[in-house]
Amino acid sequence: MCGIVGYVGKKQASSILIEGLRKLEYRGYDSAGVAIIDNGVLSVTKCKGRLANLEAQLLEEPLKGNVGIGHTRWATHGKPSDENSHPHTNEKGTISVVHNGIIENYIHLREWLMAKGYKFISETDSEVIPHLIDFYYDGDIVDAVMKTVTKMEGSYAIAVVTSNEPDKLVAVRKDSPLIVGLGKDEFYIASDIPAVLNHTREVYLLEDKEFVVISNDGIKLLDAEGKTINKEIFHVTWDAEAAEKGGYEHFMLKEIHEQPKAIRDTMTSRIVLGEPITLDDINITKDQIKNLNKIYIVACGTAYNAGVVGKYVIEKLARIPVELDIASEFKYRDPIMDKNTLMIVISQSGETADTMSALRLAKSKGSRVIAVTNVVGSAASREADDVLYTWAGPEIAVASTKAYVTQLIAMYIIALFFAQNKETLSHEEIEEIKIAMMELPEKAEEVLKNKETVQKFTAKTYMHKDMFFIGRGLDYAVALEGSLKLKEISYIHSDAYPAGELKHGPIALMEDGTIVIALATQEAIFDKMVSNIKELATRGAKVFAFAPEGHTEIEKSVFSVTYIPKVMDILAPVISVIPLQLLAYYMAIQKGCDVDKPRNLAKSVTVE
């Protein structure tokens, strides 16, 4: 997804913009550019490809100046190309704009502007913005931007500079993230906090239709009517290290290793032995919980896979029916909801467009929404009635790992919170689960120490084109996530199946050498799972199994096995997913793939 950075201060904008854009690379991009003002002259350098291309151009022809905007683009309208890259400018070359989002009525605006003589050079929706600003510009850039956004439908975070008012930067957002970094006599804007962390920890989190005007005189925040607004400064507590690779070869590997801490952090102050579960930002009452007729869990990708576990544990522990939906499908199926229906959206970024649409639909039907998100101040956290933050810290690798395990922890916390309020579990039963949860960080550390069998297996199998993941119950939920991880970063095709379903079709694909990754962590159905594994092994499949310590009998039926520490059955996904993340990681490494930035994928998908 696009990344925006802006700077007004006394330093050279160019290097600050590039550094900020680099911190936003995880959002995914196909081109990059900057616009910088020097002595009243606006200059733009932009090109297709990685940031290194842009840097090379800037090295050849440096851009001086202390005011500027930068952008990394992830193509939506128009292919990745130099022309389609941002910043876009008006014909006179006096106004430059970077944009994140989609202008839904851009065709209409384009035709309207063309009828007035404006010429377009790109295929983008974004190019209408500088022309509209040009049309409205009458000596006041703030006024022109304000008039422009009233004509724009869709989602946007935009930043604008003009050589006519050379010390000024104007930015505004709607349904796309934008933050303002407050330095000493210098200011930053960015799509996300990591872009400014090297410079400041004090930020404003802009809300929809809030404008920021930065100049040498200081900073002003305005509402859509142009009235000054006051905002609380948000102090970022992440250390700068947390947004760097910290010694690991890839962000993904670092984030896999951060999971014990992320699990612990997410439980902090929520899972306390002997004390009832109280959740700071969740205000749903006991009566409202008792009256719930149904819960919808709605999410995308990995967050959806966490929802599969959520459905299972909420139904099991709190005895409330749960429906699970892929967010992009939800609004097209006329869901049955009322004020006694609860929606839980799960979203690492809290900005995923499909998930946000589902959230808004639920609210329009009078249903309450709990957001489980990792990003403070994200759209989901602002628009939901209740929020449960996963304290995973910033997740940079496109493939989600530590966010997933913290989403699982969030599901257990919510399930226990409901069970406590509905009294579907006794105090002792809740305490027993809490004790087991508190052991998870240590068990996760243990799994991380034992990578060899996974590494050896990947070295022998990475050249395969297809693999299968199987499991029963919660193991099937983890199989879905293992399969998604493998596809995303190693580009090996894989499917996940409930093990009992194989004989209803997919077993036809089993032949000599077919690779099957089997999860057999659930004590209650272990024997059933072993029978399924045997069915596959007799047809020539090479089965790589994950089983709880002590179950050595599985060795007879499989090609290779990794033992994982014993945990309570319902908590097993938190532990068993870790070797699957490592499996995907080492497969990708063997194949020489770009682990942190897999092809065609973006970290935050803010378009439907």
* C-beta closer to ligand M6R: residue 266 or 355: 355
Which segment (294-302, 311-319, 416-424, 490-498) binds ligand M6R by CB under 6 A? 294-302
Query: What is the Cα–Cα distance from 260 to 447, expressed in whole angstroms?
Result: 10
Is residue 113 within 8 Å of residue 88, measured between CB atoms? Answer: no
Name the strand (E) or helix (H) holding 214.
Answer: strand 211-215
Both tokens of residue 543?
């089965």
Number of other CB atoms surrounding residue 41 within 10 Å:
14
* C-beta closer to ligand M6R: residue 303 or 574: 303
277 near ligand M6R, rule: CB under 6 A: no
Query: What is the Cα–Cα distance from 523 to 567, expressed in whole angstroms?
Result: 10
- DSSP letters spanning 365-429: TT-EEEEEESSTT-HHHHHSSEEEE-------SSS-SHHHHHHHHHHHHHHHHHHHHHT-S-HHH
* C-beta closer to ligand M6R: residue 174 or 485: 485
400 near ligand M6R, rule: CB under 6 A: yes
Is residue 91 within 8 Å of residue 57, measured between CB atoms? Answer: no
Least spacing, CB of residue 601 vs ligand M6R, in Å: 6
Least spacing, CB of residue 302 vs ligand M6R, in Å: 3
Number of other CB atoms surrounding residue 289 within 10 Å:
17
- The identity of residue 488, as a single letter, is E
* C-beta closer to ligand M6R: residue 148 or 390: 390
Least spacing, CB of residue 589 vs ligand M6R, in Å: 17
148 near ligand M6R, rule: CB under 6 A: no
Is residue 231 within 8 Å of residue 398, measured between CB atoms? Answer: no
Which segment (78-86, 150-158, 287-295, 392-400) binds ligand M6R by CB under 6 A? 392-400
Which segment (145-153, 333-341, 426-434, 598-606) binds ligand M6R by CB under 6 A? 598-606
Least spacing, CB of residue 374 vs ligand M6R, in Å: 8
* C-beta closer to ligand M6R: residue 155 or 349: 349
Both tokens of residue 421?
């309020």
Q: Specify whether 261 is catalytic.
A: no
* C-beta closer to ligand M6R: residue 304 or 526: 304
Positions in 474-493 near ligand M6R (CB under 6 A) = 488
Both tokens of residue 471?
């499991």
601 near ligand M6R, rule: CB under 6 A: yes
Cβ-based neighbours of 59, under 8 Å, separated by 6 or more: none
Least spacing, CB of residue 157 vs ligand M6R, in Å: 16
Question: From residue 330 to residue 359, what is the string marking binding to ligand M6R with x (rule CB under 6 A)?
Answer: -----------------xxx--x--x----
Q: By beta-carbon distance, which residue lies closest to ligand M6R? A: 301
Least spacing, CB of residue 299 vs ligand M6R, in Å: 6
Both tokens of residue 88?
């876009």
Which member of 303, 353, 408, 580 binds ligand M6R (CB under 6 A)? 303
Q: Specify whether 2 is catalytic.
A: yes
Query: What is the Cα–Cα distance from 368 to 381, expressed in whole angstroms?
Result: 13
Least spacing, CB of residue 314 vs ligand M6R, in Å: 19
Which segment (33-41, 411-419, 539-547, 599-607) binds ligand M6R by CB under 6 A? 599-607
Question: From residue 64 to residue 93, what is the string marking binding to ligand M6R with x (rule CB under 6 A)?
Answer: ------------------------------
Is residue 519 within 8 Å of residue 546, measured between CB atoms? Answer: yes
- DSSP letters spanning 120-160: --SS-STTHHHHHHHHH-SS-HHHHHHHHHHH--EEEEEEE
3-state SS, residue 52: helix
* C-beta closer to ligand M6R: residue 13 or 467: 467
Name the strand (E) or helix (H) holding 570.
Answer: none
Least spacing, CB of residue 578 vs ligand M6R, in Å: 15
399 near ligand M6R, rule: CB under 6 A: yes
Both tokens of residue 537?
């092994």
Would strands 179-182 and 187-190 be described as parallel, antiparallel, or unpaired?
Answer: antiparallel
Residues in the chain: 608
- The identity of residue 477, as a single letter, is A
300 near ligand M6R, rule: CB under 6 A: yes
How many chain residues interact with ligand M6R (CB under 6 A)? 16
3-state SS, residue 194: helix
Among candidate residues 2, 174, 434, 443, the one labeled active-site is 2
Rule CB under 6 A: which residues touch ligand M6R?
300-303, 347-349, 352, 355, 398-400, 488, 601, 604-605
| Active site positions, annotated | 2, 603
